[in-house]
Structure 1
Amino acid sequence: MIDTYPSLAGNWNFPTKMRFGPGRIQELAAACSAAGINRPLLVTDPGLKPLPMIADALALLEKNGIPPALFTDVHPNPVGADVEAGLKVFRNNKHDGVIVVGGGSAMDAGKAIAFMSGQTRPMWDYEDREDWWTRADPNGIAPVIAVPTTAGTGSEVGRAAVITDESDHTKKIIFHPKMMPVDVICDPELTTGLPPHITAATGMDALSHNLEAWCSPFWHPLAQGVALEGMRLCKEWLPEATKRGSNVEARAFMLAASSMGATAFQKGLGSMHAMSHPCSSLRGTHHGLTNAVVMPYVLVHNKAAIDEKLTAAARYLGLKDQSFGGFVDWVLTLREEVGIPNTLKEIGVDMDIIPEAAAMALEDPSNGGNPVPMTVAAYETLYSNAIEGRLA
């Protein structure tokens, strides 16, 4: 029997400094002071801009003598131009740090702005390939305070930003160890206003991170343990968070599962993400929703390599059918319960995408963590199956 949790609040230092619990947003000014940030640029997305949480955060900073500026020109899948525009504001106003309030898109854009604030080379020169991160000047990276408002990407505890290169419509991962936010405020009350469909899509993204990390073939026992518990939290709390968004307890556990997923996936991701990234860049699909749609198709494709792992996960999750098939059936049932479509066709991905998307998926950095070696032909089959709904 897994113990109940005595509190929803805590101060953690894993993998970075984290202030977790309801009402912790009130510590935003203190977090800035601790990080040495005196003139922050607050980065968020256009959807959050008019909400009280943004006005309250700006007022809180002003009250404490920390004058902020606001940048909100961020696409749902952030592009290089977003970073350039934010970087211009950052430099012109002589900011010394970034506060990111929002979901994955704001997090990626804000972290990239902070990273590029003191660099001299083009951003794409720091893509997560080989040792390209060593090209960066670590002293030219501004500190970031992250305040997630969705429970999905876990980007608040990540050392990278996913930005779309408009020149070739590919999502590229910009990486540096110092891109990790120096302080994170995880306040579940900030997520209670998320509509059910966004709660479901982002929550399934958190599940995909934990699940792909669990299935990754690489050696990382610490991440393995985090991934397993992260999946359990998604099982226990995602349906409740989707149905009753005002349930702060459910929101808190999903926020934890989100951060856990991004902590775990340093062990590796896989074909779910490799397939999702081209769909987002070529058709503008929601990243978490796309991961949720392709999830069972990828699991079935990888069965030979992950049968034992999913059987073990099924035991830990307490599923009635503690087998590979039982785990896949649970994923299908969960998707139906929270309103995830069955096929890529239902979210605007057509068969015409396959030749380009399959080639992009094979080149995607996430592909390297898939437990089964992939080819363009394998991705073509997977896309076709996911578009048409062929799970067998």
Structure 2
Amino acid sequence: MTSDPTSTNPPGSNPQSLKGNWGFPTQMLFGPGRIRNLGRACKGLGMTRPLLVTDPGLADLPMVAEALAANEAEGLPSGLFSAVKPNPVGRNVDEGVAAYRAGGHDGVIAFGGGSALDCGKAIALMAGQSRPLWDFEDKGDNWKRVDPAGVAPIVAVPTTAGTGSETGRASVILDEDTHIKKIIFHPKMMPGTVVSDPELTLGLPAHITAATGMDALAHCLEAYCAPGYHPMAEGIAVEGIRLVKDWLPAAVKDGSNLAARSHMLAAASMGSTAFQKGLGAIHSLSHPIGALYDTHHGLTNAVVMPYVLAFNRPAIEDKMTRLAAWLGLPSPSFTAVQDWVLALRAELGIPERLDGLGVGDERIEEIAVMAAEDPTAPTNPVPAGAAEMRRMFETALTGRLA
């Protein structure tokens, strides 16, 4: 049932509910060829000797060598740190900080996909801190423990269109001792400049394009559904979803389609901008699954997505009907959006169930508890504790949407 627009008390009519804390991104240099502005971006933030943080795979590619050479030519000798796991761990951050200090660096270039961006931002945060990393986990006012003067300036260069970490104020880092993915947060972790060049994403394999693109969709979709008043974030989220609908299949089908790559890079940044409003159980489940099974984050989000939507249906039915109309789906309704998500997953070759990721039921109780305690859980549209998380996990294992 949709809302009655003629009602004397339509949703959002209570002024006391129209409150929120809003913050938006940073300077972005967007478009093909903008990587040529990297040196200028670094100098603009006062860097003279930056440390480029990336992952081992990218470190051996020409794009990184070319970026380092271009900086050198501009009088910006740059170091390289690439000991970053696909799901970055605290040890990666510690080793990166050691390299930063040993090299006398004065800024970080976070260059790559979500893992490199998150690790690079965390290294910049920790470069001038005396407390351990986990003291800054995103709980309560832990962020106030940070010495803001010790946070190094950051330039972010995304090479995938997924996490959107380039426009985020946090990093997801795995605590290997507890096997828990923790969110490290501080406002100064927002990169001072983002260089978004879709040409850097042209070589991305189809399956990674699909998985990272579904991560961008998850961010936009959960932000749109999260409770609370943030119309700007919701508007960005809805347009991000439309871009994914129109351009992700094209980017997967033809990796050289620069228009598709551009729109997806924008959608990814829009997702992380929007999710300051909140996320939900898609991420609450994906975080522990990734921590325990080392699955790809975006792919895990894609697998659990329709099952979480089905669980949340009572709270998001009206929103899904409006979204379906905006997307131009036939017979706008919750079912129309759900059917579109299922069809998109099938088109992209996403597994229907968690067993397609090598995930079983042997740790179901542990995952349910971890999901309920995840910092993304409180903004799920339907309150979800361990029992509810367990139920969603079970449906994702069996493939039951009802």
Query: Shorter-chain-normalised TM-score: which range?
Result: over 0.9
CA distance, structure 2, for counterparts of residue 377 and residue 178 of structure 1: 36
Give the letter aligned to residue 337 of structure 2. Answer: F
Q: 1:320 aligns with which of 326, 330, 340?
A: 330
Indicate yes or no: 2:397 matched with 1:381.
no
User: Structure 1: how far apart are the matches of 2:114 and 2:378?
Assistant: 22
Letter in 2 for 1:33: K
Q: How far did 1:14 drift?
A: 5.5
Is residue 125 of structure 2 the alignment partner of residue 151 of structure 1? no
> Which residue of structure 2 aligns with residue 97 of structure 1?
107
Aligned residues, how many? 380
| Residue 88 (structure 1) aligned to one of 81, 84, 98 | 98
Distance apart, 1:179 and its partner CA? 0.4
The aligned residue for residue 127 of structure 2 is 117
Paired with 1:143 and 1:390, the residues of 2 have a C-alpha distance of 47
Residue 369 of structure 1: aligned partner: 379
Kindly provide the amino acid, as one letter, of the partner of residue 157 in structure 2.
V
Letter in 1 for 2:259: E
Which position in structure 2 is the counterpart of 1:10?
none
SS at match of 1:70: strand
Is the contact between residue 58 and residue 68 of structure 1 (CA under 8 Å) also seen in structure 2? yes
Code of the aligned partner of 1:45? D
Partner amino acid, structure 2, of 1:258? A
Q: 2:247: which partner in 1?
A: 237
Which residue does the alignment assign to 1:43? 53
Aligned to 1:7: none
2: distance between equivalents of 1:85 and 1:332?
41
Deviations 1:264-310 (A, max 9, x none): 00000000000000011000000000000000000000000000001
Identify the residue that residue 207 of structure 1 maps to in structure 2.
217
Secondary structure of 2:80's match? strand
Counterpart mapping for 1:114-193 below 5 A: 114-193=124-203
Provide runs of 4+ in structure 1 moved above 4 Å.
none
Determine whether 1:335 maps to 2:335: no
Question: Out of 289, 293, 306, which is 1:296 matched to?
Answer: 306
Q: What stretches of structure 1 of length at least 5 have no aligned partner?
A: 1-12
For the residue of structure 2 that corresponds to 1:129, the secondary structure is coil
Instruction: For residue 128 of structure 1, give the secondary structure of its aligned residue in structure 2.
Output: coil
Q: Distance in 1 between matches of 2:304 and 2:331?
A: 22
Answering whether residue 77 of structure 2 is matched by residue 62 of structure 1, we say no
Distance 1:46 1:92 in 2: 20
Match of 2:234 in 1: 224
Partner Cα distance (1:200, 1:386) in 2: 19
Deviations for 1:309-344, whole angstroms, at most 9, x for unmatched residues? 011000000001310001100000001111111001
Partners of 1:122 and 1:266 lie apart in 2 by 25
Q: What letter is aligned with 1:265?
A: F
How far residue 390 of structure 1 moved from its aligned partner, in angstroms, is 1.2
How much has 1:59 moved relative to structure 2?
Answer: 0.4
Match of 2:7 in 1: none
Distance in 2, matches of 1:316 and 1:126, equals: 39
Paired residue for 1:274? 284
The CA deviation string for residues 174-199 of structure 1, in whole angstroms up to 9 with x for no partner, is 00000000000000000010000000
Where 2:56 maps in the other structure, the secondary structure is coil
Equivalent residue in structure 1 for 2:116, among 75, 86, 106? 106
TM-score normalized by the length of structure 2: 0.94
- For residue 47 of structure 1, give the secondary structure of its aligned residue in structure 2: helix
Asked whether the equivalents of residues 152 and 258 of structure 1 are also in contact (C-alpha less than 8 Å), the reply is: yes
2:206 maps to 1:196: yes
Q: Residue 365 of structure 1: SS of its match in structure 2?
A: coil
**Cα distance in 2, alignment partners of residues 240 and 384 from structure 1:** 32
- Conservation of the 8 A alpha-carbon contact between 1:163 and 1:172: yes
Task: Please state whether the residue corresponding to 2:57 is helix, strand or coil.
Answer: coil
Is 1:321–1:327's contact at 8 Å kept on the other side of the alignment? no
Distance in 2 separating the partners of 1:131 and 1:307: 34
Q: Which residue of 2 aligns with 1:22?
A: 32
Q: Among the aligned pairs, what percent are the same residue?
A: 61
- Tell me, in whole angstroms, the C-alpha distance in 1 between the residues paired with 2:380 and 2:387: 15
- Matched residue of 1:352: which SS? coil
Q: Is the 8 A contact 1:209 1:269 kept in 2?
A: yes
Show structure 2 runs of 5+ residues with no match: 1-22
Q: Give the 3-state SS of the residue equivalent to 1:302 in structure 2.
A: helix
Name the counterpart of 2:360. Answer: 350
CA–CA distance in 1 between the matches of 2:205 and 2:42? Answer: 30
TM-score by length of 1: 0.96
1:48 alignment partner, SS class: helix
Q: How far has the Cα of 1:375 moved from its partner?
A: 1.7
* C-alpha distance in structure 2 between counterparts of 1:118 and 1:375, whole Å: 37
